[in-house]
Amino acid sequence: MEQTPPVTATRPRALRLVALGDSLVYGYGDTERGGWVDRLRCYWMQQSLTNSKAVNAPVLYNLGVRGDTIDLVSRRLEAEFSHRGEYRNRVPDGILLSVGTNDSPRIGQPDGKNYTDFDRFKWLMETLLERSLELARRVFFVGMVPVNSQKMPFLDLLYYNHSDQYRYKEATQELCRSLGIPYLDLFERWLSLGDQWWQSRLSADGLHPNSLGYASIFEAVLEWKALNLGNGEWGRGKREEGMGKREEGRENGEEGMGNRE
């Protein structure tokens, strides 16, 4: 009688994500643990090393660059993405985007021109989001945090303010909603918790979060249902899903995957 060979479980590979954006992605201001992306990277790495049920926790690459604008992020999107594959020339599974703050400030004076013209910003953002959906199975967007306008100008040149931040944030969020891209609205979340709360989470320059601020962002990202990668559904590769929801959202007024939180 022939014996049936034992069945050995094949461990699925870990999902790979790239976080692409400006200093909020880079983690500037967090002198303790390097920002929310590095906190998340280390958290997932620890899960892989210590928890047998999470051996396939995602692998995360931090591709944040200080001072980046929507134009600069768009220019390096494809090269950065295509060079972060592992084994057999695979490319990453998903993209975490966070950019826009550096496009919003006024140059030279409080009523000067925006660094990036608003209409051009919307066009560039739509192009970036659509191209990201073509490249990756899933795309996520982590929004900006409020600045302290009383500390401006930054570098004696740039006047950041809540009014412009809100315009650029809203434009981004609406585009994400129309394309079915989950958007984490940190701007509204922080402001809703009061001036003392959010101001205590900014560095002395009034622009970048401090270690406490990045810890708060990390906690918000970790609790974000859209980024819950443990349900077995995320990695199935329905690349067309986000694009398919664009028209659906416009016709029905639905957010699709583009919930704020």
pLDDT tens readout for residues 197-245: 999 999 999 999 999 999 999 999 999 999 876 534 443 333 344 434 4
pLDDT tens readout for residues 75-93: 999 999 988 876 655 889 9
What predicted TM-score, i.e. pTM, was given to this entire model?
0.83
How is residue 170 written in tokens?
């809203």
**Alpha-carbon separation of residue 141 from 7, 11, 64, 129, 257 (angstroms):** 40, 29, 13, 9, 11
What pLDDT band is residue 46 in, cutting at 50, 70 and 90? confident
Q: What is the pLDDT of residue 2?
A: 56
Q: CA-to-CA distance for 4 and 31, rounded, in angstroms?
A: 57
pLDDT tens readout for residues 163-189: 999 999 999 999 999 999 999 999 999
Q: CA-to-CA distance for 36 and 220, rounded, in angstroms?
A: 10
Are the beta carbons of 22 and 102 closer than 8 angstroms?
A: yes
CB burial of 183-216 (b: ≥16 within 10 Å; e: otherwise) equals: bbbbbbbbbeeeeeebeebbbeebbbbbbebbbb
Sequence-separated (6 or more) residues with CB below 8 Å from residue 87:
13
Which domains does the chain carry?
16-225 (3.40.50.1110)
pLDDT tens readout for residues 100-139: 999 999 999 999 999 999 999 999 999 999 999 999 999 9
**pLDDT at 255 > cutoff 50:** no
The Cβ-side half-sphere exposure at 17, using a 13 Å CA radius, reads 27
Q: Which of 7-16, 145-154, 241-250 bottoms out in mean pLDDT, i.e. has the lowest?
A: 241-250
Q: What is the pLDDT of residue 113?
A: 98
How is residue 121 written in tokens?
């910003």
Output the average pLDDT for the chain: 85
User: Residue holding tokens 């979060």?
Assistant: 209
